Amino acid sequence: MSATVLDGKHVAALTEAELTERVSALKQKSGGRTPVLATILVGDDPASATYVKMKGNACRRVGMESLAIELPGSTRTNDLLRQIEELNNNPDVHGILLQHPVPSQIDERAAFDMIALEKDVDGVTCLGFGRMAMGEAAYGCATPQGIMRLLAHYDIALEGKHAVVVGRSPILGKPMAMMMLEANATVTICHSRTRELQSHIRQADVIVGAVGRPEFIRAEWIKDGAVVIDAGYHPGGVGDIELMPLIDRVSAYTPVPGGVGPMTINTLIQQTVESGEKALG
pLDDT value of position 2: 86
Torsions phi, psi of 53, nearest 5? -65, -40
Amino acid identity of residue 106, one-letter, is: I
Among the listed residues 159, 160, 177, 156, the one whose alpha carbon sits nearest the alpha carbon of residue 168: 177
pTM: 0.95
Q: 149 with 256, same domain?
A: yes
Tell me, what amino acid is at 65? E
Q: What is the pLDDT of residues 224-240, one digit of tens each?
A: 999 999 999 999 899 99
CATH number, position 167: 3.40.50.720
Query: Contact, 20 vs 273, CB < 8 A?
Result: no
Contact criterion met (CB below 8 Å) for 241 and 217 = yes
CB 242 within 8 A of CB 201: no
Residues 55, 157 within the same domain: no
Q: Is 50 within the bounds of a domain?
A: yes
The answer to whether 5 and 256 have CB atoms below 8 angstroms apart is no
Is the pLDDT at 164 greater than 80? The verdict is yes
Contacts of 20 (CB under 8 A, 6+ apart): 61, 62, 63
Quote the CA–CA distance of 243 and 256 in Å, as a whole number.
9
Tell me how many degrees the CA angle 42-44-45 measures, rounded to the nearest 5: 100
230 within a domain of the structure (yes/no): yes
- Do 155 and 51 belong to one domain? no
155 and 254 in a single domain? The answer is yes
Identify the domain containing residue 246 by its residue range.
Answer: 142-261
Dihedral (Cα; 82, 87, 90, 96), 10-degree rounding: -160
Mean pLDDT of the chain: 96
Domains identified in the chain, total number: 2
For residues 55 and 148, membership in a common domain is answered with: no
Local confidence band at 142 (pLDDT 50, 70, 90 cut-offs): very high
Residue 43: CATH number of its domain: 3.40.50.10860
204-261: pLDDT as tens digits? 999 999 999 999 999 999 999 999 999 999 998 999 999 999 999 999 999 999 999 9
- Positions annotated as catalytic residues are 55, 99, 122
Asked if pLDDT for residue 1 goes beyond 90, the answer is no
> Do 246 and 159 lie in a common domain?
yes
What is the pLDDT at residue 252?
98
Same domain? 146 vs 257 = yes
115 and 175 belong to one structural domain: no
Q: What secondary structure, in 3-state letters, does 90-158 show?
A: CCCCCEEEECCCCCCCCCHHHHHHHCCHHHCCCCCCHHHHHHHHCCCCCCCCHHHHHHHHHHHHCCCCC
The reply to whether 113 and 183 lie within a common domain is no
